[in-house]
Amino acid sequence: MRVAQLDFADPEFPVSIVEKPSPDLPGPQWARIRVTGGGICGSDLHLFKPTTGQTPMLMSYVAMPMELGHEISGIVLEAGPGFPIDSGERVAVDPVMGCVARGIEPLCPQCAIGAAASCHNLASREVTPGFMIGYTNGLGSGWADEVVVHESMLHLVPDAVADEAVVLHEPLSVVIHGVLRRPPRDGDRVLIVGAGIIGLCAVAAIKSLFPACHVTVVAKHDHQQDAARSLGADEVVAPASDGSHISELAKIAETHVVGTGMLAGGFQYVIEAVGAPGAISECLRSVGGGGTIIFLGAAGVTEVDLTPLWFKEVTVAGSFCHASDPHGAEGLVHSVDLALDVLASGALPHDLVITHEFPLGQLREAVETALGRGETGALKVVLRPQDMV
Ligand SMILES: [Zn+2]
Ligand SMILES: [Zn+2]
């Protein structure tokens, strides 16, 4: 099979597409998946052009060479005895490899409560080095023809979700888990900073799961602004390079700007969907007193003025990947299953947000299209390894 791996073999482009034997199933509870969609995530793009600062603390959590692609949709090809999902079924993959997938017992405290993304054993190198599919080696990945996955990582896809849309479960689930870590209240004014795919998924998630919230989006590019409006954002604000759009945000939040550009009151609930210092600062200066910021952008080493954090008594909730979280009367719900429900409802139309699709062999063009989103109009770029495009 073909797999895209980060190996720096080509001085022009750090990723090579290499032929490897199909990986063996590591155990009876594993299945081989034929990949039908491999999304290109903002975090993948940092490997090609870093914009959010380095994250040296995570060096022990990745394999090298690294098989890339953690946004994965597929079809079960083959499974071990006793595997609960039939061959031919469509599946969404939760790429995180916690204690259950690695066969570690007893489960760590986080896995014991269904929060494998914050598993204590992500750097254990059991089964594979790397904390999740897309940063591992030897299992295949989303930018490959095949991937092998433990049953605990698979979610069945409802019939109402179109084949092309399934791969969107991953960024949407990232947002849903983040939001459910500390949900907004009815009537909250929500500010989403950033309108790449994570920001747009946040619009769809808030509008679907918390429809009584008012949603404002800060969106840089025209095509992002249009998409945010199509998904139901109540207000869309274009950021000015001198920060002067803060007065527009003040008007929406029915407050005023103090001094050098902090809102006196502000938005009760803010979602950081970029990971760059400018966006983090935007969240901090716009959040209201006693408000909440959900950190979804993958910020690394960076410099921001944290004054509003303590001065406004802000609560910051970090979030990573996927988990089971309490959701209303339903009790504990896994974020991937909720994401699939949101996709089934049509709240995040795939033909709106999947703007480009490429065969695996055109990986370089796909990455350049995603990186050049200001010119290409890219929102989500998806690789289709089975040459569906
Ligand atoms: Zn991602
Ligand atoms: Zn664990």
Which CATH number is 267's domain given? 3.40.50.720
Tokens of 109: 């405290």
Q: How many helices (H) and strands (E) does the chain have?
A: 13, 20
CA 70 / ligand 1 centre spacing (Å): 6
Average pLDDT over residues 323-334: 91
Same domain for 133 and 67, yes or no, is yes
| 105 shares a domain with 200 | no
For 70-114, give the DSSP string: -EEEEEEEEE-TT-SS-TT-EEEE--B--HHHHT-SSPPHHHHTT
Residue by residue, DSSP assigns 292-358 as EEEE-S---S-----HHHHHTT-EEEE--S--EEE-GGG-EEEHHHHHHHHHHHTSS-HHHHEEEEE
How many angstroms separate the alpha carbon of residue 76 from the centre of ligand 2?
Answer: 25
Category of 380 on φ-ψ map: left (φ > 0), alpha (ψ -120 to 50) or beta? beta
pLDDT tens track for 262-318: 999 999 999 999 988 899 999 999 999 999 999 998 777 789 899 999 999 999 998
Say if 331 falls within a structural domain: no
Nearest C-alpha neighbor of 92 from the set 40, 149, 48:
149
Can you spell out the DSSP letters for 192-245?
EE--SHHHHHHHHHHHHH-TTSEEEEE--SHHHHHHHHHTT-SEEEPPPTTSTT
**ipTM for the complex shown:** 0.96
How many Å lie between the centroid of ligand 2 and the Cα of residue 206?
29
Listed residues: CB within 5 A of ion ligand 1? 41, 43
Identify whether residues 201 and 298 lie together within a single domain: yes
- Distance CA(149)–CA(133), nearest Å, equals 9
Q: Verify that 249 and 277 share a domain, yes or no.
A: yes
Q: Which ligand is nearest to the CA of 44?
A: 1
Same domain, 131 and 257: no
Both structure tokens of 48 = 């090609």
Q: Are residues 59 and 6 in the same domain?
A: yes
Tens digit of each residue's pLDDT (9 = 90 or more) over 94-120:
999 999 999 999 999 999 999 999 999
Say if CB 321 and CB 174 are below 8 A apart.
Answer: yes
Are 314 and 376 members of one domain?
Answer: no
Domain boundary (277, 301, 321) is at 321
What is the CA(131)–ligand 2 centre distance, in A? 11
Domain enclosing residue 38, as ranges: 2-156+349-384
Quick one: which ligand is closest to 101's CA?
2
pLDDT of residue 388: 60
Dump pLDDT digits (tens) for 195-253: 999 999 999 999 999 999 999 999 999 999 999 999 999 999 999 988 889 999 999 99
Same domain, 227 and 123: no
Is 182 within a domain? yes
Distance between Cα 57 and ligand 1 center (Å): 18
69 and 38: one domain? yes
**Residue 389 above 60 pLDDT?**
no
**106 prior amide bond cis, ω within 30:** yes
- Burial readout 128-147 (b: 16 or more C-beta within 10 A, e: otherwise): bbbbbbbbbbbbbbbbbbbb
Among 271, 305, 321, give the residue marking a domain's end.
321
CATH code at 372? 3.90.180.10
Domain membership of residue 290 (yes or no) is yes
Is residue 204 in some structural domain? yes
Are residue 6 and residue 106 in the same domain, yes or no? yes
pLDDT at 84: 85
| 309 domain residue, yes or no | yes
Q: Which ligand is nearest to the CA of 201?
A: 1
Q: Is 133:62 a contact under the CB 8 Å cutoff? A: no
C-alpha 171 – ligand 1 centre gap (Å): 6
Tally the domains of the chain: 2
Domain check: are 124 and 219 in the same one? no
Give the number of whichever ligand sits closest to the CA of residue 120. 2
Residues 6 and 152 in one domain: yes
Residue whose structure tokens are 């390079």? 241
C-alpha dihedral (335, 132, 301, 261), degrees to nearest 10: -20
User: What is the CA(303)–ligand 2 centre distance, in A?
Assistant: 31
Radius of gyration over every alpha carbon of the chain, rounded to an integer in angstroms: 20
Specify whether the CB–CB gap between 343 and 37 falls below 8 A.
Answer: no
- Residue 327 is assigned to a structural domain of this protein: no
Q: Is residue 341, in this structure, part of any structural domain at all?
A: no
Is residue 367 included in any domain, yes or no?
yes
